[in-house]
Structure 1
Amino acid sequence: MALVQLLGPVQYRATGDNAVELGQTKQRCVFAMLAVDANEVVMPDELISRAWGADPPKSARNMIHSYISRLRGALEAVDDGHGAVLRRRHGGYVLEAEPDTIDLHRFRRTVATARAAGTDPRTAARLFREALGSWRGRPLGGVSGEWATRTRWLLEREHLSALVECHEGELRLGGSAGLLDELHSLADLYPDNELVIRNLMTGLHRAGRRTEAVEAYESLRRRLADQLGVDPAQQTKALRATILRADPDLTAAGPRTGAAPSVPRQLPRGIRCVGREQELAMLDGSVTAADGRPVTRVILGPPGIGKTALAVQWAHRVAHRFPDGQIFVALHGSSTGPARHGCAHVPGRTPDPRHGPADPARGTRATVPTRDRAPSGDDVLRYVLRSLGVVVPPGEADPVAFGQEALKDLRVLIVLDDLASPEQLEVLRPGPSAGALLVTARDSGRLPRLAALRTVGLRELSVQQARRMLAGILGERRVEAEPAEVSRIIDLCGRSPRALSAAAEQALVRPWLPLADLAAAMAGRTG
Structure 2
Amino acid sequence: MDFRLLGEIEVRSEGRSLDVGTPRQQVVLAALLVDARRPIALETLVDRVWGHDPPANARPVLYAHLSRIRGLLRQTAAPGGGAAARMERRHAGYVLHIDPELVDLHRFRRLVERSADRRYDDEARVAVLAEALGLWRGEPLAGLSGAWAARVRASCHRRRLDAAVWWAQAEFRLGRPAGVISLVPDLAAEYPLAEPLECVLIQALHAAGREAEALDRYGVVRRRLAEELGTDPGAELTAVYRTVLGKGPPRTPGAAAAPRTTGPGPLRPWAGASPSDSEVARRPADPLPAGAAESVGAPSGAGARAPARTAVPRPGSTGAPSPPGHHDGAATDPASGRSRVRTTRRRVLLAVLVTVVLPAATGTAHVLRREAGERDGSDGPRVSVARARELFAAAEAFDEAGRARDARAAVMDAVRMWDELIVLDPDRGAPALAPAVLRALGRAGVDFSVPRTALLGWLGNPVHTPYPAISRAILSRGWRFTAPVHLDAVVWNYEHTPGVTSPRGVADVRTDVLKAAVLENTRTRHGTRVTEFDRLLRP
| TM class by smaller structure | 0.5 to 0.7
Match for 1:114: what amino acid? S
> Would you say 1:243 and 2:244 are equivalent positions?
yes
- Paired with 2:175 and 2:494, the residues of 1 have a C-alpha distance of 55
Match for 2:432: what amino acid? G
- Paired with 2:345 and 2:250, the residues of 1 have a C-alpha distance of 32
Q: Does the 8 Å CA contact 1:206/1:254 hold for their aligned counterparts?
A: no
User: Could you tell me which residue of structure 2 aligns to residue 435 of structure 1?
Assistant: 432
- Paired with 2:227 and 2:62, the residues of 1 have a C-alpha distance of 47
Shift of residue 400, structure 1, vs aligned partner: 7.2
Structure with more helix by fraction:
2
Q: Does the 8 Å CA contact 1:118/1:124 hold for their aligned counterparts?
A: no
Q: Does the 8 Å CA contact 1:164/1:195 hold for their aligned counterparts?
A: yes
Shift of residue 254, structure 1, vs aligned partner: 5.8
Counterpart among 303, 313, 316 of residue 361 in structure 1: 313
> Would you say 1:394 and 2:347 are equivalent positions?
no
> Would you say 1:208 and 2:209 are equivalent positions?
yes
> Would you say 1:320 and 2:306 are equivalent positions?
no
- Paired with 1:475 and 1:225, the residues of 2 have a C-alpha distance of 43
What are structure 1's unaligned runs of at least 5 residues?
267-286, 295-317, 327-357, 368-382, 404-410, 443-454, 460-468, 477-494, 507-527
Q: The residue matched to 1:23 in structure 2 has which SS?
A: coil
CA distance change for structure 1 residues 26 and 221 in 2, over 3 Å: closer, same or farther?
same
User: Could you tell me which residue of structure 2 aligns to residue 272 of structure 1?
Assistant: none
Shift of residue 248, structure 1, vs aligned partner: 8.6
Q: How does 1:277-292 map to 2 (within 5 A)?
A: none
Counterpart among 56, 59, 67 of residue 57 in structure 2: 59
- What's the TM-score, normalizing by structure 2? 0.56
Q: Does the 8 Å CA contact 2:166/2:263 hold for their aligned counterparts?
A: no
Shift of residue 147, structure 1, vs aligned partner: 2.0
Identity level (%): 30
User: Could you tell me which residue of structure 2 aligns to residue 135 of structure 1?
Assistant: 136
Q: How does 1:446-525 map to 2 (within 5 A)?
A: 473=497, 497-499=510-512
Q: How does 1:86-235 map to 2 (within 5 A)?
A: 86-117=87-118, 119-235=120-236
Q: Does the 8 Å CA contact 1:41/1:89 hold for their aligned counterparts?
A: yes
User: Could you tell me which residue of structure 2 aligns to residue 482 of structure 1?
Assistant: none
- Paired with 2:191 and 2:212, the residues of 1 have a C-alpha distance of 21
Q: Deviations over 1:8-60 (max 9, x none)?
A: 2211222x123232221101110011111111111111111111111111111
Shift of residue 220, structure 1, vs aligned partner: 2.3
Q: Deviations over 1:332-365 (max 9, x none)?
A: xxxxxxxxxxxxxxxxxxxxxxxxxx95533366
- Paired with 1:505 and 1:199, the residues of 2 have a C-alpha distance of 39
Structure with more strand by fraction:
1
User: Could you tell me which residue of structure 2 aligns to residue 38 of structure 1?
Assistant: 36
Q: The residue matched to 1:81 in structure 2 has which SS?
A: coil
Structure with the greater alpha carbon radius of gyration:
1
- Paired with 1:292 and 1:7, the residues of 2 have a C-alpha distance of 37
Shift of residue 68, structure 1, vs aligned partner: 1.1
User: Could you tell me which residue of structure 1 aligns to residue 83 of structure 2?
Assistant: 82
- What's the TM-score, normalizing by structure 1? 0.57
> Would you say 1:5 and 2:4 are equivalent positions?
yes
- Paired with 1:135 and 1:53, the residues of 2 have a C-alpha distance of 27
Could you say what the CA RMSD is over the residues aligned between the two structures, in angstroms? 5.1
Q: Does the 8 Å CA contact 1:416/1:439 hold for their aligned counterparts?
A: yes
Match for 1:40: what amino acid? R
Q: Does the 8 Å CA contact 2:129/2:163 hold for their aligned counterparts?
A: yes
Q: The residue matched to 2:94 in structure 1 has which SS?
A: strand
Q: The residue matched to 2:189 in structure 1 has which SS?
A: helix
- Paired with 1:93 and 1:21, the residues of 2 have a C-alpha distance of 21
Shift of residue 199, structure 1, vs aligned partner: 1.2
Q: Does the 8 Å CA contact 1:249/1:255 hold for their aligned counterparts?
A: no
Q: The residue matched to 1:180 in structure 2 has which SS?
A: helix
Shift of residue 85, structure 1, vs aligned partner: 1.0
- Paired with 1:20 and 1:183, the residues of 2 have a C-alpha distance of 34
Q: The residue matched to 1:87 in structure 2 has which SS?
A: strand
Shift of residue 402, structure 1, vs aligned partner: 9.8
Shift of residue 242, structure 1, vs aligned partner: 2.4
